[in-house]
Structure 1
């Protein structure tokens, strides 16, 4: 899987950032690419959790321990 990670610094809320972010989010959503926004207040643990969550969501259902409609994967 692929993810886009963007750091949103102090100038993030200036000018047309909201409009540009909306276009970016929609393009990434349509491309099925996870978008992780990191803000100044996020700790290293927060960032690790966000990235880990994106990785977990990107894994196929079977690799997360669930059984798909086709049944378990062959051994």
Structure 2
């Protein structure tokens, strides 16, 4: 998986967290989830929810597919998942 770090004008880093780069070397971390993957008992599928709005961004029968979707769509510089 290719990792991208995007530095904001305020000095923060925006990225999809991975341990490929030890971000602790840069200083103290504050980690905020962008999504939450939950099993939907009604549809019997996994839903990727936006952590801010709670809206469903993607769903699939396979949780691994939802994780792959996160990695593909939430990297900085990729189009918005909405």
Q: Same fold (TM over 0.5)?
A: no
Structure number with the bigger relative contact order (C-alpha 8 A, sep ≥ 6) is 1
Structure with the higher strand share, 1 or 2: 2
Which structure shows the higher helix fraction?
1
TM-score (structure 1 length as normaliser): 0.33
Larger radius of gyration: 1
